Every structure is written in structure tokens, then in C-alpha cells.
Amino acid sequence: MAVVHLNKENFEAEVLKSEVPVLVDFWAAWCGPCRMMAPVIEELAEEFGAAVKVCKLDVDDCPIIAEKYGIESIPTLMVFKGGEVVKTAIGVQPKEVLKLMVLMA
């Protein structure tokens, strides 16, 4: 599965109303650690397939959503299940940590 790019128009449908768990990467193009996470996010999307939705949300394009979820540092990775945040990690994370985060949600 490909990474889903979120915006204010599709956030509710893709994340809050998703039937499967959703991993959201809150990031920005100017953020070095965010760019380091990009290949990991792509790999997770491939590995999880249809079982988990993997998404990216550019905090500069969607400041209202970022503010709603209290994003103060990026990258911030959140797992949503049933429309609620169930797990959060801030900063660069190893792929295995993110996999566990999603699987334990």
C-alpha cells in the first residue's frame, strides 16, 4: 500500500473513520529528522499492506489539525484506532519500535 497524504479535506475520512488502525506521521519538508523517517514510513506502508493505513500530514499545510493534536515537535507519530489517538512517539524512531507501537494499539 502507498502512503496516504493527508490534508484538511481527507483527514476525517482517512483517519478518524478508518476501519483499520492508522499510523500518522506529522512532518514538514524543512525538518531533517522528518526526512530521515520518510523511508521508514514508506517501508511500513509496504509491510503493513491493507492491515494498517500509513499516512503523512504536513504540519505547515494543516496547522489546525497539528494544533488540535498538540503537535509541538516533529516528527510526531501517532497511532489512531477507532478515531482516537492510542499511541504517540516523538522524534526519530526505529522501524521496529513503530511496528510494535501499531501492533500493540
Taking only the tens place, the pLDDT of each residue in 6-38 is 999 999 999 999 999 999 999 999 999 999 999
**pTM value surpassing 0.95:** yes
Give pLDDT, residue 30. Answer: 97
E-assigned strand segments in the chain: 4-6, 22-27, 53-58, 76-81, 84-90
**Cα–Cα distance, 97 to 65 (Å, whole number):** 25
Catalytic residue among 3, 4, 31, 89: 31
> Is position 55 annotated as part of the catalytic site?
no
> Is position 34 annotated as part of the catalytic site?
yes
Catalytic residue among 34, 40, 57, 101: 34
